Amino acid sequence: MRYELLKVCPDDERINDMMKTHSESGFIVITAYGGGDTDPLVLHGQKLNNRKLKANIKAAKYFFIPVWGIFFEVDEYGTQFELEQAFIVFNHQRSNKQEAPEYIKLLGQKWCAGCGQASFIYREAGADGKAQLISDSGSTIQSYDSLFPIAAANTYFKALNEGAVSRLQDKALSYSGSRMYVAQSPNSVYEAMMRAGEHYFGFFKRC
């Protein structure tokens, strides 16, 4: 479905405050995108895999937030950019069930394997839970201090982009960490039904 997007800053304190409770339950950030690939066939495959990933998240009945990072290139022909969608998946299910945080970490590994992704972000439970970039095999690639969800997504996009630049060199787009995008709240009951499983935050909606 098509979303109305709202630009946000990774360190926006309003978002941090609104997501505090959800953060402390633990979460993961995951996508099937590659962090700046430019090959149309590769991008098409990533898009299809990301749709499957979203379906798997919804089937597992976890609450989530879609978030977009912008990747760009400026040359003599102008500016080329791509929006890549990731999912912040909280350790809360729609049945009000909350599994051990380690379980959502295992799901992250499983979903990585299913969508051809090499890594995801896992944030431990607790007020000061640490965050880690985890490989699809479960090993820790890099550790971070405690991160709020949007900042964790920003860190994840940066890590994916570093991998893409290393892999593709001048064929990779650059990641702009200065802005990201989230979906605005639904405009109708029908849209809300279509977006079952998503968390909404009121200040995302512009009046």
The confidence band for 75, taking pLDDT boundaries of 50, 70 and 90, is low
Give the other-Cβ count within 10 Å of 194's Cβ.
11
Q: Which residue has the higher pLDDT, 146 or 77?
A: 146
Note the pLDDT of residue 121: 97
Name the average pLDDT for the chain.
86
pLDDT tens-digit profile of 86-132? 999 999 777 766 667 678 999 999 999 999 999 999 999 888 889 99
Tokens read off for 37: 């690939």
Closest Cα partner for 196 from 49, 52, 61? 61
Q: Report how far residue 62's alpha carbon sits from residue 131's, in angstroms, rounded to the nearest whole number.
A: 19
101-115 and 40-59 are packed helices; what angle lies between their axes, rounded to 10 degrees?
A: 150
Q: Do 85 and 67 form a contact (C-beta atoms < 8 A)?
A: yes
Give 51's contacts (C-beta < 8 A, 6+ positions apart). Answer: none
Q: Report how far residue 130's alpha carbon sits from residue 118's, in angstroms, rounded to the nearest whole number.
A: 20
Residue 75 pairs in a beta bridge with: 78
Q: Report how far residue 176's alpha carbon sits from residue 81's, in angstroms, rounded to the nearest whole number.
A: 10
Does residue 205 have a pLDDT over 50? Answer: no
Does residue 68 have a pLDDT over 70? Answer: yes
Q: What is the identity of the amino acid at 99?
A: E
Tokens read off for 175: 């990641």
Tokens read off for 99: 């599994």
Note the pLDDT of residue 74: 67
Q: What is the identity of the amino acid at 128?
A: D
Note the pLDDT of residue 14: 79
Give the other-Cβ count within 10 Å of 84's Cβ.
25
Note the pLDDT of residue 102: 79
Note the pLDDT of residue 28: 96
Q: Do 67 and 86 form a contact (C-beta atoms < 8 A)?
A: yes
Q: Which residue has the higher pLDDT, 33 or 192?
A: 33
The confidence band for 172, taking pLDDT boundaries of 50, 70 and 90, is confident
Does residue 203 have a pLDDT over 70? Answer: no
The helices-and-strands tally (H runs, E runs) of the chain is 6, 8
Note the pLDDT of residue 155: 95
Query: What is this structure's pTM?
Result: 0.90
Q: Do 57 and 92 form a contact (C-beta atoms < 8 A)?
A: no
Q: Do 10 and 86 form a contact (C-beta atoms < 8 A)?
A: no
